[in-house]
């Protein structure tokens, strides 16, 4: 107990010397705990005075009892009755810096995740050809897990289960230095063979077979489609070329071609994605974080 707390009883009883009284009152203006003790002591004395007045000639409590009551009040003030002390000046000065550091860390972490998620599909074009390193000109059969790895590396490998076509076979080959994937499909309405070739967008050309052009509504700005009367179609895009041989009717063949264009466009929008501005890439990543596809 510091010296000022020892002065509380004398101060309340009016027995504290004048010099100490002035010092103690100055201390009370700065010390919350001593102020609480004085207030509790005065409250206790008022209750005792009221009790004495109500009992008339009843003897006043002795000094020992009064001191014991004051000490009990002191313990109560040090417990639940006394509010928590404010943080030190040093800690208060660190709070803004800590809050700023936490905010910067949160923003940096979110931007980092968004940057990774916002990587354009075109950024994986190099691995799309490297994954076919084991293919030969004669071709090798591929399994479903092989097709999944190709999709992860940037290949389209379109699926046509919604059209009632089931995959009956898949082969990978390298023809004249260009890797190509052949998917064989069959269903109640006929069969289709889809050949996908991945290539460098800089070398992309356009079909020139002279056969009539088929208009496509979906992503037609990045595709040229040539189709013949025999159900053979060639679809040329900036990063890929497709050949489709189909025995399906004309309407289902058009739907099949449109499906290829839509899935290719969703995966490899070659115009602008490879040189995507950083803020746009982060924006795309944030959209993926919130499960929003901004391309649709």
Q: CATH no. for residue 23?
A: 1.10.10
CA distance 30 to 34: 9
Structural domain includes residue 269: yes
Select from 272, 124, 273, 128 the least CA-distant residue to 197.
Answer: 128
Q: Are residues 174 and 235 in the same domain?
A: yes
- Residues near 288 by Cβ (< 8 Å), separated by ≥ 6? 114, 117, 118
Q: Which two tokens stand for residue 111?
A: 């931007």
CA distance 93 to 87: 10
Residue 210 has pLDDT above 90, yes or no: no
Q: Give the model's confidence band at 127: pLDDT under 50 very low, under 70 low, under 90 confident, else very high.
A: low
The predicted structure's pLDDT at residue 88: 63
Structural domain includes residue 292: no
Q: Are residues 126 and 263 in the same domain?
A: yes
Q: Which two tokens stand for residue 135?
A: 């293919």
Residue 6 has pLDDT above 50, yes or no: yes
CA distance 69 to 59: 17
Q: Are residues 268 and 143 in the same domain?
A: yes
pLDDT tens sequence across 136-169: 888 999 999 999 999 888 889 999 988 889 999 9
What pTM was computed for the model? 0.46
CA distance 288 to 279: 14
CA distance 206 to 141: 29
Residue 144 is part of which domain span? Answer: 121-275
Q: Are residues 49 and 133 in the same domain?
A: no
- 257: domain CATH number? 3.30.200.100
User: How many other β-carbons are positioned within 10 Å of the β-carbon of residue 244?
Assistant: 23
Q: Are residues 138 and 251 in the same domain?
A: yes
Rg (CA), the chain: 42
Q: Give the model's confidence band at 30: pLDDT under 50 very low, under 70 low, under 90 confident, else very high.
A: confident
Q: Are residues 240 and 126 in the same domain?
A: yes
Q: Are residues 268 and 126 in the same domain?
A: yes
Select from 224, 271, 296 the least CA-distant residue to 120.
Answer: 271
Structural domain includes residue 281: no
CB 124 within 8 A of CB 238: no
């Amino acid at each position: 107990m510091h010296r000022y707390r020892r002065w509380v009883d004398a101060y309340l009883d009016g027995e504290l010397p004048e010099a100490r009284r002035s010092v103690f009152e100055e201390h009370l203006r700065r010390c919350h705990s001593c102020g609480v003790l004085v207030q509790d002591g005065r409250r206790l004395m008022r209750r005792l005075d009221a009790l004495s007045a109500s009992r008339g000639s009843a003897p006043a409590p002795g000094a020992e009892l009064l001191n014991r009551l004051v000490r009990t009040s002191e313990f109560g003030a040090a417990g639940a009755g006394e509010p928590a002390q404010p943080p030190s000046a040093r800690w208060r000065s660190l709070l803004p810096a800590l809050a700023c550091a936490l905010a910067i860390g949160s923003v940096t972490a979110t931007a980092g995740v968004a940057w990774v998620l916002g990587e354009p599909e075109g950024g994986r074009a190099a691995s799309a050809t490297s994954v076919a390193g084991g293919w030969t000109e004669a071709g090798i059969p591929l399994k479903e897990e092989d097709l999944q790895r190709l999709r992860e590396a940037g290949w389209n490998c379109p699926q046509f289960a919604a059209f009632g076509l089931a995959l009956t076979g898949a082969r990978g080959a390298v023809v004249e230095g260009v890797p190509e994937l052949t998917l064989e499909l069959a269903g109640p309405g006929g069969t289709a063979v889809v050949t996908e070739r991945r290539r460098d967008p800089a070398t992309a050309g356009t079909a020139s077979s002279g056969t009539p052009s088929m208009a496509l509504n979906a992503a037609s700005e990045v595709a040229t489609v040539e189709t013949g009367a025999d159900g053979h179609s060639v679809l040329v895009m900036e990063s890929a070329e497709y050949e489709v041989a189909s025995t399906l009717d004309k309407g289902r063949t058009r739907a099949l071609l449109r499906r290829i264009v839509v899935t290719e466009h969703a995966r490899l929008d070659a115009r602008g994605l490879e040189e995507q501005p950083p803020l746009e890439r982060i924006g795309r990543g944030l959209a993926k974080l919130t499960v929003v596809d901004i391309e649709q």
